[in-house]
Structures are given as structure tokens and as C-alpha cells.
Structure 1
């Protein structure tokens, strides 16, 4: 799919909704990560580093989805899903490593589980709108 066709797919309908939700999550995660980094990073560096990573992933995924860069979108959304699953499970099993929550802790419970559901929806949408042939 060309970049122009990819942009057209995200400029209307459900594609626009996905880009909008990713944008909100990118903004929220970036704000959280910036606050944690500047005010209390030494309290829990591991989970706060994961929040920074999540923010970067959301920003790149938003950009990739909005501009039709499907390979980058697929990579970042897939990484996001793996990150949410790994961090979510780790935060439940290794509570000593997570004295404070990250964006992906407890499978994104602090964000209404949107971090868990959104990459599944994003991957479904990328699959559904792929160009076959």
C-alpha cells in the first residue's frame, strides 16, 4: 500500500478513530513519563523507564498510523502488545520490581485497560486494511 493510500485509510472512518485514540494515549503517556522522569525517577527507575518506552512507542505508532507507514505501524503496535503482556504479567508476578506502576503495569489497568485492548484493535485494523495482491 502506498503512503498516500495508507494516509487515506486513516483520514476517515475507523482509521481516524484509531489514530485519535493512539494520539490521546501518546499524549497521556508522554505527560506521565515526563513528570516521572523529572520529579521522582530515582524512586522507581525500572517502571518509570518502561513508562518512557511506552510513551515513545505510542508517539511512533501514532505517527506511523497517521502517515500510512504500515510496516512501522505494524512493528510498533506489535511491540506494544508484547510489552503490555510482558510488563503486565511481570508486574503481577514480580511486585518487588514494580514499587510504582508504569503505563503497562497490570495490563494497563491504570488507563482502563486501553493499553491492552488498543494494540489488538490496531493489529486487527492493520490486517483488515492490508492490500492483498
Structure 2
């Protein structure tokens, strides 16, 4: 019985470590990047390309996050008329920001959170056997953590 309990505790520890690593590698960068997107959507005076370039992300991370945002926009199938016409990734991101600007704030936050979830799910890497609902929960925890700071 003692060995069974030890195995269960070891398994739970492993799951917690994998969830924490997934959170650090996939969820937190997506949420941080989308916080910048939210700032863009909240302030129409900001230019998308200039603001994204002046973030804390290095060039490689920024390129990766922009790529995964583009993929997430496609997967979400949002009603973006301009996204279909956009020939570049920057055009697609501009279109997404304009779409967010047209939404009420509560809906805007929901769309941003769902986009972060999809970005985290699409990004390759160790998912640690996490289910979609668990990834959703991790994203919401990261969003709450971001709002509390």
C-alpha cells in the first residue's frame, strides 16, 4: 500500500512539473504577447507594427509568436473579411487588431483569451498529456495572473 501511495504521489508530481513547464514554454509567452495585442486594440492611436517591434521579446521569439498568432487566427475562423485578402502575416495581424477594436471590451477579452489558448495548443512541444480543457484552464490562470500584476 505504501508503494502505491508513493507511485501516485510521484505521478502527481510529474504531472504538476509538466503542466508548469508547458505553462512557462507555451502559455505565458502567448498571454504576454496577446497583452500587447490587447493594448493595441484598446488604443486605436497605436501603430501595430511599431508597437510589436518595441516589445520585450527578442526577434526570434517575436517572429515565432507572430507566426503562431497567424495560425491561431486561421484556426479560430473569426469573421475577418480582411484576413482572407491579407497577403502577409502583418496584414493578418493588423486585421485581427482592427477586429478586436470593433468588439465590446468583455468580448474582446474573451477572444484574446481563446486566441492564447489556441496558440498554446498549436505550438509544438511537450503538452504533457494535457487535455484541451486543462490548457484552457492554464491560459485563464495566466490571464488572471497578468491582470493581478
TM-score (normalizing by structure 2): 0.30
**Is the radius of gyration larger for structure 1 or structure 2?**
2
TM-score calculated relative to the size of structure 1: 0.32
